[in-house]
Amino acid sequence: MTAPRPPLHGRKLGDRRVVVNRPHSAFFRYAGPGTMVAKAAASAPTTALGRRAARVRAFVFGKPLTSAAEIGERLSKKLALPIFSSDAISSSAYATDEILRVLILAGIAWLTWSIWVAAAIALMLTIVALSYRQVCHGYPSGGGAYVVARENLGPNFGLIAAAALMVDYVMTVAVSSAAALANLSAYFEVIKPYSVELGAVIIILVTAANLRGVRESGNIFAIPTYMFVGMALLVIGMGTANVLTGHAHMVEPSKFAEKAGTEAFTIFLLLKAFAGGSVALTGVEAIANGVPAFKPPEAKNAANTLIIMALLLGVIFVGLTFVGMNYGVRAETAAGQPVLAQIGSAVFGDGILFALLQVSAALILFLACNTSFNAFPRLAAILAKDDSMPRQFAFRGDRLAFSWGIVVLAAAAIGMLWAFNASVDALIPLYSVGVFICFTLSQAGMVIHWRHERSSGWAWRGVLNGFGALLTGVVFLVVAYEKFFNGAWMVLIFIPSLIAMMMFIRHQYTASARALEMRPGTAVPQPHRHNRVIIPIPGVNRAVVQALNVARSITTDIRAVYISDDAERTAEIREHWAQAVPDVPLVVVESPYRAVIAPLVAYLDVLDKSWPSETEEPIDFVLIPEYVARSWWERMLYNQAAKQLRATLLGRQHTVVINIPYRRDEVRAAAAAASVEPAGTLVAGEGNGNGHSHGAPETKARP
């Protein structure tokens, strides 16, 4: 704030006018004593290039939003359903394939058991959904399985759940993209050879949409999700009607159909089919992770949306399995068609309805990764606040999205898509392992939660969660065993690696916090150590004089250091220095090996060793003069040695490194001052004398 100006008397007696000058008003809003709130102008770029970049960013991602606008970005149930449920609902498009792919090993006759396997999975879906509904109410701050396990089982179990979730979210994006391309190529076969490239492009587009903010991505993705739900229910309805009226016909298997095997039909084969079809449950936990994204009342809206999602998923999954069984549909290899495409072709024919079904399936499978793009960044942000992930992940971008998490998820998913050549068959074994770890830990944690809380109905809730934990734990063991040699072993390596990384990060943050911590009530004493300033100089110029002026404001113990490899130039600089700055000693360090940084660091070490041992070591202030050019391309020509020196001295004991910038605009001001300064004062000259170095003009002493 500026000092108040004196009142100005008007023409009439008693009239007074006061001029109020508020230079802060363009950039800040006064909010109370010692408090100002930054306006948009305070964050606006000041350069022409920066303004152009800001306009492009605003066009692509939207205009920046204030933190207060976060409540307006919350989701209604209509928008939250497609955002958080697209992963779970879309898994019905390929879960039946995994069941049939296993049952065919025992022969065609046993394919009828697919409906019973689907029913068992639907029962488990019911238990898991009811459990996560309780998580929404019990932990409305979000975090899902991670927070439940952390609060009830301990921090390390929380990290296990978090690592499993993060792996599952990455696999969701990769599997959904690959499955979408597989469905789309059933109608447009020409795109099959370009699956990896198209998948990467789609993931990048989804990334850009999510960087625009949660609400905008919901507006973009709502229509395709509801379109798929409508088309899936239509094909199930028409197919069921054909079955009940006797108009259903058996589909002739294509050359790509999986060959019937001769294995014995045992409980182990059923468990394997159950493990394969359990991919239908992936994404169920996403709503519990993102409760804060809902409009108030957050917990109630999230819980209701979760139940709607579970009902839609169960109906579509069991319905497609039922229709496919009655039409004699068989799973096909990667070169063939998915089960959904075969059912659509059998029920709709090859007309417009079949095309709409395949396009909507491809769209929702692509958008299924949007669930991960909402859940993964939120989980990473919670972990960052708990010091288990880099704190950058808790940073919200211009559109209030967790930008770091979104970009990292996209990069990891594209990498998985490329590594497995966008093959659904190759990616599926890595899928669903992590999610059952989360289910088990979450429900086990809820059992302890209810025992401690003992609220109304805690007993039956605890029994429900306990049964769910037992069931999902058994399924995890089955899934891990059956899929281990098909690729699940990689997930069982990724998860411990992530846990180790998060524990390391947490240890580092804890150690640094302990080192920086101050005891409560401690009064900060006045400085008592000696200060010493060292100025490495390239010559005698304006930038060096600027550094000298700063040095004099710190201490009187100042010395300049010149690293020399040219005796003739050194003599010229000595003479010029003695004339311009006689009160500051110049130390010349000759460097016969032409090194610059190492001799200077060695000189600082010698100064430290020469200090009396009975006295506390001084603080070395190393002031580095820098010439700041106007344009970014000019700056590449200057200060390279200064950057190396700063990087070398960073972290050196008892050393403070300060960059002293001398801007080109200050040349005119210095030249103007030269005409009014008294004799014997250091002023700016325009000539290129012996002291000129690194593009900085020379400073001369006026006689």
Query: What pLDDT does 467 receive?
Result: 86
Contact between 236 and 83 (Cβ < 8 Å) = no
Which residue, 127, 151, 84, 174, is CA-closest to 491?
174
Contact between 108 and 308 (Cβ < 8 Å) = no
Burial 658-676 (b: 16+ CB within 10 A, else e): ebbebeeebeeebeeeeee
Q: Is pLDDT at 214 greater than 70 in this prediction?
A: no
Burial 407-426 (b: 16+ CB within 10 A, else e): ebbbebbbebbeebebebbb
Which residue, 694, 685, 662, 679, is CA-closest to 576?
685
Tens digits of per-residue pLDDT, 3-16? 555 555 556 655 65
The CB density around residue 114, as the number of other CB atoms within 10 Å, is: 24
Q: Report domain extents, the chain.
A: 1-39, 76-511, 531-701
CA atoms within a 13 Å half-sphere pointing along the CA-CB vector of 581: 27
Local structure of 535: helix, strand or coil: strand
Instruction: Identify the DSSP state of 521.
Output: T
Q: Is pLDDT at 562 greater than 90 in this prediction?
A: yes
Range name among 288-292, 379-383, 572-576, 596-600 with the lowest pLDDT average: 288-292
Structure tokens at 340: 């959904």
**Among 56-60, 106-110, 251-255, 384-388, which range has the highest average pLDDT?**
384-388
Query: What pLDDT does 691 receive?
Result: 38
Query: What pLDDT does 211 receive?
Result: 83
Q: May I ask the CATH class of domain 531-701?
A: alpha beta
Query: What pLDDT does 187 receive?
Result: 64
Pick 640 or 579 by higher pLDDT: 579
CA distances from 320 to 91, 94, 226, 283, 323 (A): 12, 10, 17, 19, 5
Region 77-88: what's the mean pLDDT? 81
| Phi–psi pair at 431, nearest 5 degrees | -90, 155
- Which residues make beta-bridge pairs with 699? 684
- Which residues make beta-bridge pairs with 589? 563
Region 177-200: what's the mean pLDDT? 78
DSSP letter for each residue of 540-601: SBHHHHHHHHHHHTT-S-EEEEEEES-HHHHHHHHHHHHHH-TTS-EEEEE-TT--SHHHHH
Quickly state the pLDDT bin for 308 (edges 50, 70, 90): very high
Region 584-601: what's the mean pLDDT? 90
Query: What pLDDT does 218 receive?
Result: 61
Local structure of 75: helix, strand or coil: strand
Please report where in the chains the tokens 């095997």 appear, as a residue.
261
Region 312-329: what's the mean pLDDT? 92
Residue 64's contacts (CB-CB under 8 Å, 6 or more residues apart) are: 40, 43, 58, 398, 399
Region 667-675: what's the mean pLDDT? 54
- Which residues make beta-bridge pairs with 37? 29
Range name among 114-128, 312-326, 479-493, 627-641 with the lowest pLDDT average: 627-641
Q: Is pLDDT at 692 greater than 60 in this prediction?
A: no
pTM: 0.74
Length of the chain: 703
* The pairing of beta strand 586-590 with beta strand 558-564: parallel
Tens digits of per-residue pLDDT, 135-168? 888 888 877 788 889 999 999 999 999 999 898 8
Which residue, 237, 423, 425, 223, is CA-closest to 343?
237
Region 324-331: what's the mean pLDDT? 89
- Which residues make beta-bridge pairs with 560? 535, 586
Residue 666's contacts (CB-CB under 8 Å, 6 or more residues apart) are: 542
Quickly state the pLDDT bin for 215 (edges 50, 70, 90): low
DSSP letter for each residue of 261-284: ------HHHHHHHHHHHGGGGTTT
Please report where in the chains the tokens 């319905």 appear, as a residue.
319
Instruction: Identify the DSSP state of 388.
Output: S
Check: CATH 1.20.1740.10 for 76-511? yes
Tens digits of per-residue pLDDT, 377-428? 888 999 999 999 999 898 887 777 788 999 999 999 999 888 888 887 778 7
Task: Determine what percent of the chain is predicted with pLDDT higher than 70.
Answer: 88
CA distances from 124 to 302, 474, 615 (A): 20, 12, 73
Region 631-647: what's the mean pLDDT? 77
Contact between 370 and 221 (Cβ < 8 Å) = yes
Report the run of H or E that residue 191 belongs to, with start and end: none
Alpha carbon distance 591, 326 (integer Å): 88
Tens digits of per-residue pLDDT, 339-362? 888 899 899 988 889 888 888 887
Report whether the peptide linkage leading into residue 23 is cis, meaning its omega lies within 30 degrees of zero: no
Region 221-230: what's the mean pLDDT? 85
Tens digits of per-residue pLDDT, 593-614? 888 899 999 999 999 888 888 8
Region 30-50: what's the mean pLDDT? 80
Which residue, 484, 432, 93, 170, is CA-closest to 278?
432
Local structure of 249: helix, strand or coil: coil
Q: Is pLDDT at 311 greater than 90 in this prediction?
A: yes
Region 175-198: what's the mean pLDDT? 78
- Which residues make beta-bridge pairs with 658? 623
Quickly state the pLDDT bin for 643 (edges 50, 70, 90): confident
Quickly state the pLDDT bin for 633 (edges 50, 70, 90): confident
Query: What pLDDT does 681 receive?
Result: 40
* The pairing of beta strand 619-628 with beta strand 586-590: unpaired
Query: What pLDDT does 153 receive?
Result: 92
Burial 361-393 (b: 16+ CB within 10 A, else e): bbbbbbbbbbbbbbbbbbbbbbbbebbbbbeeb
Tens digits of per-residue pLDDT, 505-551? 999 999 998 888 888 888 877 777 889 999 999 989 989 999 999 99
Contact between 79 and 301 (Cβ < 8 Å) = no
Query: What pLDDT does 700 receive?
Result: 36
Query: What pLDDT does 697 receive?
Result: 35
Alpha carbon distance 136, 125 (integer Å): 16
Alpha carbon distance 618, 104 (integer Å): 80
Region 452-474: what's the mean pLDDT? 85
Computed over every residue of the chain, the mean pLDDT equals 82
Query: What pLDDT does 407 receive?
Result: 92
Query: What pLDDT does 70 receive?
Result: 63
Quickly state the pLDDT bin for 450 (edges 50, 70, 90): confident
